Structures are given as structure tokens and as C-alpha cells.
């Protein structure tokens, strides 16, 4: 239609040229046509809305989505490199299907392309999904290795959902779920209960991935917050001078605290750090979580082990002392004796215990419970004789709780 309306002035100009009226051609060419641009929101006519190539067009559409814009006018530079019509269709398809963030939050992208004398203009509108409402909460990372700190912080804060957009990642959803579990089990103090993580993955071009992670703590946020507050106030070694203790003595102190203050039960729901340290009744997994935290408070490296004890599913710990590793089973220390469950090497433990031998540090240390207890006793005797102190290095339950 526009081409037909321009045809009359152009024919008139041609006639005038034949008559020697060149100036009339100039006047007719620049006369206003019936094209009137639509009214656009403020800022749409900025320079960044003009594109010169397909790459710039794709980037502009991506930025539009990331900024949550519903509508924008895109101006194709008069010297645009390529076919505007074909490139517009290609860019919309690329952005809609090959970008993970757009696939996550965009329902549809529509456009109206018009040729305006010597260039093209497109009016683009984006329809978003409900996920777009929280677009500002999407965490954008370069590499998958950066995800650990973000996931840990989310668990610490009791978040129930987290969305990660990672430019370069080959991790599957199951791998992300495993990362969340490993982070918690390495430091159970970050939450009163280990959350179960469910991960949905949206694939983008190349190695781009978007991970939608849901955390389930088995309780509402208010209850979770109350339990977190109780753990934050928990301070079992307040007032004790532990700096002068050997690492073995500190490991024994943590073990003895659990034996004196937590009792083993088989209930499957008592498998939390909260059950062990606050409720004081826990199964083997809960006691192992509690021992990890107590050791960390005393500056010891400790981790939880999942395996079997007497062919039943069971959890216990591996603690590092002076560069050597040892098994410690708080639940056996409670139900049998400290001697039976404290500072075992692999050879002593294997048989009654079963675990993935190659997944955990090999326990080859030679320190024993009797040696640690003897050192503590000797230190106490020397201290008493010199008049420096009347208390033992390993305090009784009432002393720890006071």
C-alpha cells in the first residue's frame, strides 16, 4: 500500500526530470509519507534499539527478556548486514528455543516487521510465563563450580527454591542434587534438617544450562526458623579451655559429650543434627551429624560415613587427627562403650562395618582410645600436682552443661 502511494510522486519526479526540473525531484522525495510510527514507551528509541547485524539483533532480544520488557521497537540500520525478514524470524527462534533463560520464562515472542523507506523496523512483544515474576532472583554464573557457594547460602537461609543460570555447565540435574546433599553432609550445621533437593534442567545452546532447584525441609519456614534459632544458641563448650588440648583429646571430648547428652534411638525421623544436639535423642545418622558439628566447633576435620553395621544401614564418622584418619561411631559409643566405637582404623572396623572403601579417606592411624585417655589422665595428674587446676581435661556432663 505504501509503495503504491509513493509511486505517484516518483512518476511526477521522473516527468519533471525529462522537462529539466531537477529541483522538484528533491522536494518530492523528502515529502512526508502517510507512515506514522506508533507511540512507544520511553527509552525505546535509544541507540541500543538499533541493530546492524543478526548477532546484535539476538543480543537485543535477549536483553529485552532479561530486563523483563513486554514491548520494544527495534530499528534495523539502513546498512544492516543481511536479510532483515529472515534474520528476524531466525533471531526469535534462536532466542526462544536456544537460550535457557528464555525457554524458562518466555511463553511467546511475536513481532510485526515493516519496511520504512530505506530501513526496517520491528515491533516486538513478549508474553512471559509465571516464572518471569521472579526473574530478578535468577542467579547468573559463568561456571558450574561457582554453584556450590550459592547452593550452600540458599540452604543456610532456608530457601525453598533457587534458579541458577550457568553459561558453561555439563552437570545433570542428578549431579546438582548430589552437590546439595554433599554440601549439607559436609557441614550439617547449615540447617536443622538435611533438605531433599529436586532439580529440573533447561538446556540452552552449547553448554548453557538453567537449573530450577526446589528444597524440601519437611517443615514450614516458620518452624525451620525456630529450630535454626535453637541451634544458633547451642554452645556446648562455652567456658572450656580447649586450646591446650591435643586433637585426640578434643575428638574424645566431642564423643563424650554425645554419650553424656544424647541417647541412641532407632526412629527414622530422628536422623537430624537438631535431634542429636537439641532433642538429645537420635539415630545413628543424627548422632553422626551431631559429631561432625561438635568436631568442627573444636577445630577438627570430620565427616559422616554411610554404610552398614552388622549388615544394617548405619552412619558414623571419620575424623582427622594429626594428619591421620580414624573411624568414630558415636551410637556404638553410647550403646556399647566408648572403647568399642572410638578411634578405629580400617582393619579394626572392617567386617562389622561395611562402607565404600574407595569413597572415603583410608583410616590407618595408630592412636587408640586408651592412649588418648592416658594422655588426658597424665595431663590432669601433672596439673593437679602443680596446683594449676583441680578439674580433669575431659569434664563431666554437669560441667559441660553448666
Residue 262: phi, psi to the nearest 5?
A: -140, 140
- The CATH architecture one would assign to domain 234-401 is Roll (3.10)
Residue 375: pLDDT band with limits 50, 70, 90: low
- The answer to whether 340 and 333 have CB atoms below 8 angstroms apart is yes
pTM of the full structure: 0.74
Here the cell at position 301 is 576435620
Task: List residues bridging with 216 in a β-sheet.
Answer: 196
pLDDT exceeds 90 at position 225: yes
**Fold entry, domain 37-132:** Translation Initiation Factor IF3 (3.30.110)
CA dist 22 → 6, 29, 88, 270, 285 (Å): 18, 11, 38, 95, 94
State the Cα–Cα distance between residues 292 and 301, nearest whole angstrom: 8
Mean pLDDT (whole number) for 356-360: 95
Q: What is the mean pLDDT of the chain?
A: 84
Band (pLDDT 50/70/90 cuts) for residue 378 is low
Tens digit of each residue's pLDDT (9 = 90 or more) over 291-313: 999 999 999 999 999 999 999 99
pLDDT at 224: 94
pLDDT confidence tier of residue 377, bands split at 50, 70 and 90: low
Q: What whole-number percentage of the chain has pLDDT above 90?
A: 70
pLDDT at residue 45 tops 60: no
Query: CB within 8 A of 9, min separation 6: which ones?
Result: 28, 29, 31
Structure confidence by residue, pLDDT tens digits, 138-148: 999 999 999 99
The count of other CB atoms within 10 Å of the CB of residue 322 is 9
Closest residue by Cα to residue 316 from 258, 385, 260: 258
Which residue bears the cell 526473574?
135
Residue 393 predicted with pLDDT over 50: no
Query: In sequence order, which residues have a C-beta less than 8 Å from that of residue 57 and are 6 or more positions away?
Result: 51, 74, 87, 88, 91
Contact (CB, 8 A) for 106 and 133: no
Nearest CA to 217 out of 278, 273, 287, 282 is that of 273
Per-residue pLDDT, averaged over 346-367, amounts to: 95
pLDDT at residue 27 is higher than 90: no
Query: 46-97, pLDDT tens digit by residue?
Result: 444 899 999 999 999 988 988 889 999 999 999 998 999 999 999 999 888 8
Amino acid at each position: 500500500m505504501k509503495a503504491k502511494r509513493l509511486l505517484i510522486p516518483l512518476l511526477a519526479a521522473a516527468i519533471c526530470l525529462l522537462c529539466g526540473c531537477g529541483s522538484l525531484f528533491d522536494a518530492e522525495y523528502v515529502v512526508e509519507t502517510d507512515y506514522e510510527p506508533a507511540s512507544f514507551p520511553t527509552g525505546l528509541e535509544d541507540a541500543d534499539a538499533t541493530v546492524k547485524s543478526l548477532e546484535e539483533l539476538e543480543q537485543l532480544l535477549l536483553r529485552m527478556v532479561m530486563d523483563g520488557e513486554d514491548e520494544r521497537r527495534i530499528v534495523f540500520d539502513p546498512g544492516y548486514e543481511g536479510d532483515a525478514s529472515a534474520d528476524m524470524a531466525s533471531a526469535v527462534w534462536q532466542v526462544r528455543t536456544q537460550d535457557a533463560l528464555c525457554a524458562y520464562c518466555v511463553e511467546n515472542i511475536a513481532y510485526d516487521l515493516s519496511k520504512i523507506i530505506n530501513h526496517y523496523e520491528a515491533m516486538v512483544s513478549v508474553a512471559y510465563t509465571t516464572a518471569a515474576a521472579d526473574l530478578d532472583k535468577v542467579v547468573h554464573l559463568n561456571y558450574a563450580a561457582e554453584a556450590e557457594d550459592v547452593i550452600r547460602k540458599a540452604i543456610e537461609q532456608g530457601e525453598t527454591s533457587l534458579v541458577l543460570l550457568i553459561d558453561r555447565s555439563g552437570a545433570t540435574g542428578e549431579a546438582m542434587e548430589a552437590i546439595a546433599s554433599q554440601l549439607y553432609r559436609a557441614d550439617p550445621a547449615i540447617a536443622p534438617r538435611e533438605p531433599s533437593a529436586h532439580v529440573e534442567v533447561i538446556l540452552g545452546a552449547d553448554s548453557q544450562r538453567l537449573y530450577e532447584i526446589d528444597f524440601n525441609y519437611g517443615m514450614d519456614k516458620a518452624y525451620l526458623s525456630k529450630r535454626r534459632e535453637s541451634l544458633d544458641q547451642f554452645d556446648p563448650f562455652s567456658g572450656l579451655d580447649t586450646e591446650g588440648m591435643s586433637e585426640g583429646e578434643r575428638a574424645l571430648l566431642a564423643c563424650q559429650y554425645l554419650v553424656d547428652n544424647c541417647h541412641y534411638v532407632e526412629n527414622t525421623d530422628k536422623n537430624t543434627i537438631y535431634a542429636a544436639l537439641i532433642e538429645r535423642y537420635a539415630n545413628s545418622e543424627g548422632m553422626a551429624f551431631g559429631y561432625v558439628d561438635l568436631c568442627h566447633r573444636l577445630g577438627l576435620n570430620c565427616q559422616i560415613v554411610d554404610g552398614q553395621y552388622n549388615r544394617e544401614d548405619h552412619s558414623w564418622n571419620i575424623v582427622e587427627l594429626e594428619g591421620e584418619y580414624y573411624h568414630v561411631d558415636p551410637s556404638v559409643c553410647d550403646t556399647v562403650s566408648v572403647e568399642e566405637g572410638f578411634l578405629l582404623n580400617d582393619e579394626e572396623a572392617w567386617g562389622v562395618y561395611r562402607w565404600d572403601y574407595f569413597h572415603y579417606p583410608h583410616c590407618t592411624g595408630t592412636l587408640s582410645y586408651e592412649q588418648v585417655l592416658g594422655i588426658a589422665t597424665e595431663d590432669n595428674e601433672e596439673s593437679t600436682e602443680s596446683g594449676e587446676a583441680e578439674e580433669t581435661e575431659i569434664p563431666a556432663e554437669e560441667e559441660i552443661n553448666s
